Amino acid sequence: MKMGKKKDSSRPEKLDAEIRRELDAAFDQAEAYFVTKQKEKPPFAVENLSPRFIEALELMAKYCEKASGGYCNLITSLAIKAVYGEKVDVRYHQVQIQDQTDRPAGFNFRGVSESTIYEWMEEHEFHGAKSGWQTRTFERPKPYMLSYDENIGTIKEPFLICYDEIETQHQSAKLALAFLLWRRLQLREASNVDLAVPKIQDVIQITNLFEAHFFYKYKDSKGASRLPVLALYAIYSVLLNELNRYKGKKLKELEAHSAADAQTGAIGDIEIVNVADGTAFEAVEVKHGQIVTKAMVDSAKQKIKGSQVDRYYILTTHQQHEPSEEVMSEVENVKRLLGCQMIVNGVIPTIKYYLRLLVNPGAVLPVYVEMLTKDGAVGFEHRDVWNKIATGIIKI
């Protein structure tokens, strides 16, 4: 019979759930600032935590991987402090020394670290040690005072300062947790994620993959709006080698997601140009979650009026992708005045149509995955969700 995890019998029954709530709240605060892509320290920390505390937290964040045991201990203690506040002095991390304080926790912190904290960190792809209390230098029955005399390496001073700040200077453990998780999000973002490449050829399956990836409820919505552009670009990169229409044509490199068309001179998110002279042949503008309006068609008309573009797509991820009569009337004007065929449609129907034109529809997936890896607008969250969709963890 499979044995369940052994739990510290002295630990309050509801503590694990309360700690998870505090970690979730700190993560939400950290992520809300992280998705703004600001590089400056978050105002919630700068305006409320002491410079000494922030400096110590910065050093702990810097060594979160090399000294993951001590880092995990600090996260554990901050989470416990966030739950109990002034009722508990978290410097006294073991029951056998808690008779030295009038604010004892009544349980050992190691069990919390090895189960609740470790599991939560792993769920968020923050990998590290299960607990620093598994090493002798951290497990000594001594409180984590500034005078703690064990050799805990490079992080000794910032580690102990963090405990001193929350216990003697009454600094916020909740904000400290959020600050450390914000730094951890930055580190996770910069990490390389090996992306899955499904080996499938079925057009419907491939379309469903794209659809699930585009419409997942991301925290970083700006990066999500880039995904349909990358998928269409991947399809075009295969399509250009197969259709006679694109003989003597090539794809222009994508502009940065943040670049405005007016600054770059681009006429669309995706451009196919003539190899001979670089002039525009076909272009695609992608609207994420927006119904295509007459104003959008007018804007496109202004972009293309000085070019010789043959075909121009305005594609939207919005469910209502059929053009209105007003939009169609303006599309006809563009054809009559500029000689350009303008097509207004949905991203998903267009993807499905293009995939059916390909000899090997599955060839677009390695290209898409490579673009997810390299594109600056795509974050860890988007790559992680792709893996979960591609491997069936997220059902579609």
What pLDDT is stored for residue 262 in this prediction? 52
Measured between alpha carbons, how far is 305 from 339 in angstroms, rounded to an integer?
10
Which amino acid appears at position 313 of this protein? Y
Measured between alpha carbons, how far is 387 from 213 in angstroms, rounded to an integer?
10
What pLDDT is stored for residue 9 in this prediction? 54
CB count in 10 Å sphere of residue 3: 5
Two tokens, residue 302: 């202004």
Measured between alpha carbons, how far is 220 from 383 in angstroms, rounded to an integer?
12
**Are the CB atoms for 15 and 112 separated by under 8 Å?**
yes
Helices (H), the chain: 15-34, 43-46, 51-62, 68-84, 109-112, 118-123, 136-139, 156-168, 173-190, 203-215, 221-224, 227-239, 261-264, 294-304, 325-338, 347-357, 364-374, 380-390
- Looking at the chain, the domain(s) classified CATH 3.40.1350 span 203-390
| Owner of token pair 């860890």 | 380
Residues 6+ apart with CB under 8 A from 193: 373, 380, 383, 384, 387
What count of Cα atoms within 13 Å lies in the side-chain half-sphere of residue 120? Answer: 23
Measured between alpha carbons, how far is 117 from 15 in angstroms, rounded to an integer?
12
Fold classification of 203-390 is: Trna Endonuclease; Chain: A, domain 1 (3.40.1350)
Q: Is 366 exposed, middle or buried (0-12, 13-18, 19+ CB in 10 A)?
A: middle
pTM reported for the whole predicted model: 0.73
What pLDDT is stored for residue 257 in this prediction? 58
Look at residue 343 and give its three-state secondary structure. strand
Distances (CA, A) of 373 to 7, 210, 363, 365: 41, 16, 17, 12
Measured between alpha carbons, how far is 37 from 106 in angstroms, rounded to an integer?
41
Q: What is the pLDDT along the chain (396 residues), one digit of tens a residue?
A: 344 444 555 788 899 999 999 999 999 999 999 988 888 999 999 999 999 999 999 999 999 989 999 999 999 999 999 999 999 999 999 999 999 999 999 999 999 999 899 999 999 989 888 888 888 889 899 999 999 999 988 999 999 999 999 999 999 999 999 999 999 999 988 877 789 999 999 999 999 999 999 999 987 667 899 999 999 999 999 999 999 999 999 999 998 755 545 556 789 999 999 999 999 999 999 999 999 999 999 999 999 988 889 999 999 999 999 999 999 999 999 999 999 999 999 999 999 999 999 999 999 999 999 999 999 889 888 999 999 999 999 998
Which amino acid appears at position 137 of this protein? T
What pLDDT is stored for residue 149 in this prediction? 93
Look at residue 283 and give its three-state secondary structure. strand
